[in-house]
Structure 1
Amino acid sequence: MRPLLFPDHPTYWFETVRSMSHIAYGGADFAEVLDTAGKITGGDPDSWHDAWRETADRIAGDARAAERGGHRVSARDAWLRAWNYYRNAEFFLHGDPGDPRILDNYDRSVAAFRRHADLAGPGAPRPVRVPFEDAELPGYLYPSPLPGRRPLLLMHSGYDGSAEELHVQGAVAAQERGYHVLTFDGPGQPGTRHHQGLHFRPDWETVVGAVLDWAAVHVPDADPDRIALLGVSLGGELCVRAAAFERRLAAVIAVDGLYDFGATLTAHFPVSDPEALAALLRDPGPAAEIDEALERAADASDTARWGLGHGQYVMGGGSPRGFLLRALDYHLRDGVAESVTCPVLICEAEDDLFFPGQPDAVFDHLTAEDRTLMRFTAAEGAGAHCHAGAQRYALARIIDWLDDRLAPARETAAAA
């Protein structure tokens, strides 16, 4: 998609499109996004925060006024948009983990989303907390509108998305097609990182296993033979990794496919072998030279600056170099992709800003009998990372694929 704003700052443009994308399921309004973006200086995180916070506060004020006047639907809709705008306000701030604006905006975004849910009526998402080791995974349960045993779709995001954002990235779309949907934040994602201090971990099957255990008890109407998992962005690597070890999954969907996260971050390093690269990053000899190179990269690119700063926030490592060392553990090499046996859908975006070529790498290593590579193009309006800007179109294709494996669409038609 040709940038209409921030032509020299592609990450700022993508995040603007991301908010526009949420219009499809009520998470934004076009003029609100466009007007806010017009107040932002590209590459300036403070400018980004201030503009989105101003819009978020205004829409939250509208929601409160609507509630005082007894206008439930208007309040419900405004709270959902306020959630997204507060979410956006903190996005570029994670380079300074102690910035008080991070938690303030995050807490406001979650409160706005939950107030939307309070007002949404039957079928509204219900907050849940899944026990996980010494912590809890926050998320939401969306009950199927249909009676009887229904398929269950588990959803998690990736590097920077939240359980709340999954509402507009597939949870509502799947629910209205007859699924129970359970969204959650795993370690490193907002609901666990912001208040519990958890960092990402590569053994994502332990996370999904805990969620499956919880669902077996707390979602009794879910059909245990029809449970699918969908991961977004970095979640496209995590979910396939989980499916390689967790046999309770009947299908897995990567939006989009990601084979080797570390390789995407270290493509310009002089070595590419993972073990040699890890040794290089640990070696104190070239450490200063590597640190200087990473600093130059951050100075030259908004995408690199945000990626390295956010990476330390959600993965740890203590430095950009330490973060890259940890990122090398997130991959589907060493037979992991080949171990998946359930049906697999790998999505691909033609103009992916972050992970070009990675979906093909995943697909080439899969050996599951039922595997699909689903391409989305710029001509369809769906060529951006995770198909931002084309949610209705993309989710229809994705969930139709799942329907063909788990059959709820045909059951919905029969019930009608």
Structure 2
Amino acid sequence: MGLSFGAFLSVRAAAFEKRLKVCIADPGSLSWAEGILNHFPAPIRQVLVGDGPDVLREAFTWTAQHTSLKWLVRDYAWKHGVREQDVFKALLAYDNTPVIDQIECETLVMDGTEEMARGQAKRLFDALKCPKHYILFDADSTAQAHCQIGAYSTASATLFDWLEGRL
């Protein structure tokens, strides 16, 4: 089981580790870069993965005006061991599309209606060829946020119900 970026990695691990009986991705993600880059307006996305210092300066000026995105860039630079201006290019390498067909174990993809990487979990679920299940949490469940933050008991109960009889 993986949460957030760990969910991306858990799916990747399941593609290569054939001893796994189940895999749980919360939230699921097919392309980490796409999930992150979709937070930006289209012109900024093009700039962030483009080349040239003037282009990058424009993008980082825009990003610096948005505190949460500024934090995200710094955090990802640290986590991925790259300079801030290289974060988005580095994220392009995190794509499970080429290995998704290698997953054989039963896979649960969890998602929320207010998930940060909107649409990524469903894209992952749709791409899976193995036995699969999809759970979408909404406002009624109170578990609609990223990794069900604020409603872990609800998500855990649902998860353990799903796991019962599978392990």
Structure 2 CA distance for aligned equivalents of residues 316 and 271 of structure 1: 23
In the alignment, structure 1 residue 264 sits paired with structure 2 residue 29: no
Aligned residue for 2:15? 244
Distance between the aligned counterparts of 2:143 and 2:96, measured in 1?
25
User: What amino acid sits opposite 1:296 in the alignment?
Assistant: T
Answering whether residue 108 of structure 2 is matched by residue 342 of structure 1, we say: no
Q: For each residue in 1:370-391, what CA deviation from the matched residue of structure 2 results, as whole angstroms up to 9, or x when unmatched?
A: 2001111112111111111111
Q: Percent sequence identity over matched residues?
A: 27
Q: Which amino acid aligns with 1:338?
A: D
Query: What do residues 275-329 of structure 1 show as CA deviations (whole Å, max 9, x unaligned)?
Result: xx7xx54xxxx42233123312322212210110111111022233x12111111
Letter in 2 for 1:357: G
How do residues 53-72 of structure 1 correspond to structure 2 at under 5 angstroms? none
Aligned 8 A contact 2:11 2:23 in 1: yes
Measure the CA separation in 2 of the matches of 1:271 and 1:244.
Answer: 33
Distance 1:271 1:348 in 2: 26
Code of the residue aligned with 1:324 in structure 2: it is: F
CA distance in 1, matches of 2:24, 2:67: 30
Give the conservation status (yes or no) of the 8 Å contact 1:231–1:253: yes
In the alignment, structure 1 residue 330 sits paired with structure 2 residue 101? no
1:402 and 2:163 are equivalent in the alignment: yes
Q: Do the aligned partners of residues 315 and 376 (structure 1) sit closer, same or farther apart at CA in structure 2, a change above 3 Å counting? A: same
Q: Helix, strand or coil: the match of 2:143?
A: coil
Q: State the TM-score, normalizing by the size of structure 1.
A: 0.37
CA distance in 2, matches of 1:289, 1:327: 21
Q: Is the 8 A contact 2:20 2:105 kept in 1?
A: yes
- Counterpart CA distance in 2 for 1:265 and 1:346 is 18
Q: Distance in 1 between matches of 2:5 and 2:62?
A: 22
Q: Secondary structure at the match of 1:355?
A: coil
Alpha carbons 2:64, 2:70 under 8 Å: kept: yes
Aligned pair in 2 of structure 1 residues 388, 271: CA closer, same or farther (>3 Å)? Answer: closer
2:78 corresponds to which of 296, 305, 313: 313
How much has 1:231 moved relative to structure 2? 0.1
1:297–1:305 CA contact under 8 A, matched in 2: no
Of 364, 368, 376, which aligns to 2:137?
A: 376
One-letter amino acid of the structure 2 residue matched with residue 300 of structure 1 = Q
Q: Which residue of 2 aligns with 1:63?
A: none
Encode CA deviations 1:104-124: one digit per residue, 9 max, x unaligned: xxxxxxxxxxxxxxxxxxxxx
Question: How far is 1:337 from its partner?
Answer: 1.6
Q: Residues 162-201 of structure 1 correspond to what in structure 2 (within 5 A)?
A: none
Give the match's secondary structure for 1:291: helix
Deviation sequence 1:173-220 (CA, Å, 0-9, x none)? xxxxxxxxxxxxxxxxxxxxxxxxxxxxxxxxxxxxxxxxxxxxxxxx
CA RMSD, Structure 1 to Structure 2 (Å) = 1.9
Alignment partner, residue 386 of structure 1:
147
1:297·1:304 contact (CA, 8 Å) conserved in 2? Answer: no
Q: Write out per-residue CA displacement over residues 21-43 of structure 1, whole angstroms, 9 at most, x where no aligned residue.
A: xxxxxxxxxxxxxxxxxxxxxxx
Equivalent pairs counted in the alignment come to 163
Question: What is the identity, as a one-letter code, of the residue corresponding to 2:166?
Answer: R
CA offsets per residue over residues 78-115 of structure 1, 9 Å max, x none? xxxxxxxxxxxxxxxxxxxxxxxxxxxxxxxxxxxxxx
1:196-275 aligned within 5 A: 230-267=1-38, 268-269=41-42
Q: Which of residues 63, 66, 77 in structure 2 aligns to 1:298?
A: 63
Larger radius of gyration: 1
Unaligned runs of 5+ in 1: 1-229, 407-416
